[in-house]
A and B are shown apart, each in its own frame.
Chain A
Amino acid sequence: MKIQHKIYLSNAVHILLIVLIGIFALQNLNEILTKFRFTVIAEGLNANFLEMRLAEKNYFLYGDDTALDNIRGRINQTSDTLLQVRRDITRAVGAEKYSELQDNLHVYTQLIESISTARHRDAAAQKKLREAGQKLKTFSENITTLESDRIEAIIVRSKNILLYSFWAVVLFAFLFSNLIVRNIGKSLRKVVDLTRAISKGNYPKIEEKPSNDEMGAVISAISVMADELHNREKELVQSKRLASIGILVAGVAHELNNPLNNISMLAQTYAEVYDGLGKEDRIGFMERVDEEVERLRVIIHNLLDYAKPKEQHLAKATTNQVIQKILALVQNMLDISNIKIKLVLAEDLPYIYIDEHQIQQVLVNMATNAIQAMDKGGELYIGSRYLPDNDEIEIEIGDKGKGIAPEFLDHIFDPFFTTKGDSGTGLGLWVSYGIIKNHQGNIRVTSQIGIGTTFIITLPSCKKLKRCTDDEA
């Protein structure tokens, strides 16, 4: 369900709850109003009966006939009222009580009439009339009390229900908004994780089907973006590879052209000056030709060696052990060049999954470069550490040598690029770069003239490559 729909639904439920509460409150108010009106009528009846009783007392005390007329008037009035509120009374106390009231009124009326006709005020009749009057009054008093109690009960009930509904609405609002916020929060965290991973150059595949809401749409869009970025990066890598092939070809052409030109010039000059040459000179010419051919042979051999796709023998390895092994290999060079070594190796590094021979080749290459950069002695720094954010191991190889000029830094990984003159083939760093890339790692370089150069190699952990289980890592 879309977030939009969830919010609509939540609002609808809220409105429904409020309408229900309103209807309930309205009904209660109506009931209270009806009961209140009835109470007023009942009070009226009560007052009538009270007046009747007073008039009755006056009649007996003073024999005043106007009192009897007053009573008759009150009786008529009461009869009318009773007819009017018959339904109300029936509802409040039942039909039985209503007819009982009418009977009582009837008895009272008859008693009044008989007293009026007989004009006797004997004690027995008086007593009967008083009893009948008292019954009427008690009845109306009862009704009033009963209805008052009921009104109070309704008010209490309404109050309670309003209070409960209030808490219910608050609770519902809290739970629902919490649910939505948590939902959105979860998705947003996912978005944050995804974009973080993408910015680090990882392109996580989103396995689960994205939810059918707005956040799902955002995650799908990011997933599409990641795929596109990944494709573009692949294209870029491919074009860089092509560019590097171009550089390689140019380099090869240049490397081959020089000895070829030499042979060509030797041959041309040989023919030209042949007559003036002694036997030794002629042999000298041919030896120089052979030397140039040998030069070509070495170049071609090296190229083939580097170009040959070597089979990788990948296995679990320990970074620090690999470093220790290459140290043994370069120790002699360090001693000769009067270079001290500074090792800062982190303990408990996770395993890496590498072709140890190839990685050793890279590290020896880096170390050799570093040593050659410090022809006046110095310190070779080798460090290892774990980068938990990327689950990678970082190896740092630094020298305090000459440094590399900024304009050369961009080219040091190009094939045939060398700052070492004739002593370098210009292939070492290019090959190292290829090896590290094949290991899904990376090489960076920082350098400052006169201060030194540092190569930073990162390699994914064995676990990151899904080659080791948790226990092994």
Chain B
Amino acid sequence: MTKHSIMFIDDEKIVGDMAKLSFEQDGYEVETFLDGESALERLQEKRFDVVVTDMKMKGIDGLEVLRTVKKLYPGIKVIMITAFANLDVAIEALRDDVHDFFPKPVKIKELKASVKRALGEA
């Protein structure tokens, strides 16, 4: 059975590092990116099963990642993480068919449950 692949985008390096450690232990294949640009570049080459992205980033932000992913692979579920929950941004993300929305600090267990739902495993 092929592993499910997850893309993590966050300009905080620790987020990616910890997510990689934690999710790989659960048997996922994880790639981490520190900005939207490199992530979108990678998406041109490889389809991921789930994308988890930070909302506020320099350059290409979470919303733009969400839109691009939906355009490239309408089936991929996108989970958004934000350091500061802003209702306007949340509404905009929902309109663009975000799968889930997590404020920081993130509970990894909840994130994992959400990823499972996104993959249709739960």
Q: Which residues of A contact B (CB under 8 A)?
A: 250, 253-254, 257-258, 260-266, 268-269, 272-273, 276, 288, 292, 421
Contact = CB atoms under 8 A, between A and B. Distances in A.
B73 to A, nearest CB: 27
Nearest to B14: A262
Nearest to B107: A268
Contact of B83 (A254, A263, A268, A292): A254
Contact of A253 (B15, B84, B106, B109): B84
18 contacts: A250-B86, A253-B83, A254-B84, A257-B105, A258-B12, A260-B105, A261-B15, A262-B12, A263-B105, A264-B104, A264-B105, A265-B14, A265-B106, A268-B22, A269-B21, A269-B108, A276-B25, A421-B58
B19 interface: yes
A158 to B, nearest CB: 93
B18 interface: yes
Contact of A261 (B22, B25, B104): B104
A292 B84 CA distance: 18
Please list the 3 inter-chain residue pairs (A to B) with the smallest Cβ-Cβ separation, ordered nearest first. A261-B104, A264-B105, A257-B83
B18 A269 contact: yes
B47 interface: no
Contacts of A268: 18, 22, 107-109
B22 A269 contact: yes
B56 interface: yes
A129 B56 CA distance: 144
B83 A265 contact: no
Contacts of A269: 18, 21-22, 108
Nearest to B25: A273
A interface, over-half SS: helix
Interface in B105-122: 105-109
Interface string B1-26: 00000000000101100110110010
B15 A265 contact: yes
Query: Which of A257, A258, A421 has the most CB atoms of chain B within a 10 A radius of its CB?
Result: A258
Contacts, number: 59
- Name the residue in A254, A260, A261, A272 with the highest tally of chain B Cβ atoms < 10 Å from its Cβ: A261
A273 B18 CA distance: 10
For A260, A263, A272, the residue with the greatest tally of chain B CB atoms inside 10 Å of its CB is A272
A154 to B, nearest CB: 99
Given A261-B83, A272-B25, A292 B14 contact: yes
Interface size class of B (residues with CB under 8 A): 20 to 34
Contacts of B58: 421
Given A266-B14, A292-B14, 12 more contacts: A254-B83, A257-B84, A258-B83, A261-B12, A261-B15, A261-B83, A265-B14, A265-B15, A265-B19, A268-B18, A269-B18, A273-B22
Interface of B: 12, 14-15, 18-19, 21-22, 25, 56, 58, 83-84, 86, 103-109
Contacts of A253: 83-84
A250 B88 CA distance: 14
Contact of B106 (A261, A272, A273, A288): A261
Nearest to B56: A254
A294 to B, nearest CB: 13
A248 to B, nearest CB: 12
A263 B19 CA distance: 13
A262 B84 contact: no
A100 B15 CA distance: 145
A269 B21 CA distance: 7
A389 B122 CA distance: 74
Contacts of A254: 56, 83-84
A35 B95 CA distance: 113
A262 B15 contact: yes
B21 A273 contact: yes
Nearest to B15: A265
Nearest to A255: B83
B6 to A, nearest CB: 15
Contacts of A263: 105
Contacts of A264: 104-106
A265 B84 contact: no
Contacts of A250: 84, 86
B20 to A, nearest CB: 9
Contacts of B107: 268
Nearest to A250: B84
A262 B15 CA distance: 6
Nearest to B16: A265
B83 A272 contact: no
A253 B18 CA distance: 22
Nearest to A418: B58
B105 A261 contact: yes
A276 B25 CA distance: 10
A333 B58 CA distance: 26
B25 to A, nearest CB: 6
Nearest to B84: A254
Given A254-B84, A257-B83, A265 B108 contact: yes
Contacts of A276: 25
Contacts of B14: 262, 265-266, 288, 292
